[in-house]
Structure formats: C-alpha cells, structure tokens
Amino acid sequence: MRQKALVLIAALTMLVAAFAMSGSRDHVFAEGPSVPIQKTEAGMSSTNVKYNPPLPKDAPISIRDAVMLGYDIMNHTRTYAGKYVGNTLNCSNCHFKEGSTEGGKNGGLSLVGVTTKYPEYRSIADGVVDIVSRTNSCFERSMDGKPLPPNSREMVGLITYFQWISKGLPIYEKIPWLGLKHIKSNHKPNQVEGKKIFSSACASCHGADGLGTKIAPPLWGKESFNDGAGMAGLANLVAFAHDNMPYLVSNLTGNEALDVAAFVTSQPRPHFTAK
C-alpha cells in the first residue's frame, strides 16, 4: 500500500507540474480574459488577439482617477499637462478618440495594446526603451515640449490609462491594429502637385497657410510638431494621410498622399533639441 501511495503521489505531482507549465504558456495575464495560444503550421505560436478595450469610466475605483486623468490629457493635453507641452497640439490629433480606436482607415494611431509592446528596441533611441521613455519621446518631439518626470501625476495617469485600455491583451504578441501601414510605391513624390492637393483637400480644415484652425491642428510652423517627430518623416506622414485624411473620409490615393506629404514635410517647423 505504501508503495502504491508513493507512486500515486509522484504521478499527481507530475500532473500538477505539467498543468502549471502548460498554463503559463497558454495564457498571458492573470487578470482579464485569458487568451489561448494557437499553433501555426510552421510550429510558431500566434495569439487570437481581440479588440475590446474597456471604457475609462469602468476602471476600478482604486485607479479610476488616474485613468480619467490620462484620458483627459489625451484629449486636452495643454490643459492637463501644459507645462510639458511646447505647441498647440493634443495627443488626440494623431491618436483619435484618445487612442481607443482599432486603427486602420479613419482610426488614427491606436494605443490599445501599446503597453504590451514595451520595453522594445527603437532605432530613433538606438536602444531599448520602456513605455515611459516612449511617451516622453512624444512629448519632446510631437508636442515639441519636455519630458514628464516618471513619477509625476501626469505620467502615472497616462501609463495607467494605456494599461487600462490594453487590459486582457497578451504581452509581446502582434497586435494587428497598432502602428502605421506604410505604402509601397514607385511614384516620385511631387511637392508642386502636393501643394495643389493641400489647397483642395486639406486647407479647409488646416488653414490655407497650414497653421491650423479651430477644427484642425497646424501641420507646420512654430505650433506644430518638430522635425524629430515621427510625422516629420515622409513615410510615416504618407501612411497616416492615406488612411486618415481628409478627416473621417480618407479618400486620398497613394500617389496623392505621397505628393501632399512631401509638400507638408518640406515646410518649416521647430528643430528637435533633446531636453
């Protein structure tokens, strides 16, 4: 009997260990819905990632104030984080609906799942950066401002908001709606044609001088993003314009997006200086 009991205990121990190991591989995040991993034909792992961000107002009471502050900063950046901003832009000018969209056509740059990507290597930094550093890069470049202290109320609010809308998504898996879809084209960008396209498709919102209006942000000049921002790069602005401009109707062809982006990126803007 004693020998049978020892055998049974050993078997149960191995079973528990096997279950624990399979659980740690098959599910990511203890909180939120578990996401089963599926095997591809090549034997690699991929995840059934679903877009389903929770609403800011539904955050637990213990973090709700921080989440709502992050939400407010996304919408009204100068109002809620003004001492770190150097222009008139808001985060939501690129991250539509506070970054809660599914990206793609007319969705701007989504932030749902962004916290699952970091830390990651970024060539612009020539090293691995965390989500705090990545957020500060936006403030220094896109907002032409200065970095937020990591433990500041504003930074904590932003990161908590990013974490909340990323709830339930697996770490380091491909999130299909993040980032820009760059255009492959043999078309040579034409700034002269781009100026014409700007006048006919963009000026009514961004102003004939490109310096912004009450309904759209400046695309160049002292109140716009500086030359170190992602949107100052031709490939990024082409992709963004093609998917999102004109606002909510995105009807530019690939060649038109190339031409108008070439025109916009040729205009004067602040020079990036690390602070």
Using pLDDT thresholds of 50, 70 and 90, give the confidence band for residue 275. Answer: confident
CB 32 within 8 A of CB 168: yes
pLDDT at 22 over 80: no
Q: Does the structure show a pLDDT above 80 at 6? A: no
- Kindly report, residue by residue over 101-141, the tens digit of the pLDDT: 999 999 999 999 999 999 999 988 899 999 999 999 999 99
What percent of the chain has pLDDT above 70?
Answer: 83
pLDDT of residue 156: 98
Instruction: Tell me the pLDDT band of 79, cut-offs 50, 70 and 90.
Output: very high
Domains of the chain: 13-47 (no CATH), 56-165 (1.10.760.10), 191-265 (1.10.760.10)
Kindly indicate the confidence band of residue 38, based on its pLDDT and cuts at 50, 70 and 90: very low
pLDDT given for residue 52 in this prediction: 97
The Cα–Cα gap between 9 and 3 comes to: 10
Confidence of residue 32 (pLDDT cuts 50, 70, 90): very low
CA 16 distance to own-chain centroid: 39
String of DSSP letters for the chain: -HHHHHHHHHHHHHHHHHHHHHHHHH---SSS----EEE-TTS-EEE-----PPPGGGS-HHHHHHHHHHHHHHH-HHHHHGGG--SS--GGGTSGGGGTS--STT-----TTGGGS-SEEETTTTEEE-HHHHHHHHHHHTS-S-PPPTTSHHHHHHHHHHHHHTTTPPTTS--TTSS--PPP--PPP-HHHHHHHIIIIIHHHH-TTSS--SSS--SSSTTS--TTSGGGSHHHHHHHHHHHTTTTT----HHHHHHHHHHHHTS--PPP---
160 token code pair: 């908590």
pLDDT of residue 190: 98
CA–CA separation, 52 vs 263, rounded Å? 37
pLDDT of residue 48: 76
